[in-house]
Amino acid sequence: MPDPTARDRSDPAGPGVCMSKTTITKGTDMTEATSPALRTALAYYHAWTSHDLDQAMSYIADDIVCDAPAGVLKGTDAYRGFMSPFVQILTGSELLAAFGDDTTAVIVYDTQTIPVKSAPAAECVTVADGKITRSRFIFDRLPFDAARQVTPADT
């Protein structure tokens, strides 16, 4: 059955449309991923959600570009500086879904942190030679900003 929304796009198989992909959902082991980009994205995700930032950084290219709600980060030092505080407050994470092809992967997850009990997010990563060269983070900063505003008298 044809995609009913395809007529609304100038190129129904254009950028952002993944025609051939590997899909991972809850309960699927990452070793089942056949997509090279998805394997890298999942290995990275499992490393940082296990509080092993050094292992996670082994999947990050030296010249990474990261688009995050706070702005654009360039290079591994900036990326580590972005991830490190978050990993320190992380108390849990649930992988909700993951999709990938040869060069691009999307992972969707819900993290639990000390200040925010549910912080869903998504990452779209570009992978070359087993390294993440670009990451686009999508998450809502508002709950974290609100948690920073809470004073001890408010709790």
The per-residue pLDDT for range 58-99, each reduced to its tens digit, is 999 999 999 998 899 999 999 999 999 989 989 999 999 999
The reported pLDDT for the residue numbered 3 is 40
The reported pLDDT for the residue numbered 151 is 54
Query: What's the pLDDT tens digit per position in 36-47?
Result: 999 999 999 999
Q: What distance, in Å, lies between the first and last C-alpha atoms of the chain?
A: 54
Q: Burial, 30: exposed, middle or buried (Cβ in 10 Å; 0-12, 13-18, 19+)? A: middle
Q: Does position 50 have pLDDT exceeding 80, yes or no?
A: yes
Domains and CATH numbers, the chain: 22-146 (3.10.450.50)
Query: To the nearest whole number, what is the mean pLDDT of the chain?
Result: 80
Task: Work out the pLDDT band at 106, boundaries 50, 70, 90.
Answer: very high
Under DSSP, the state recorded for 155 is: -
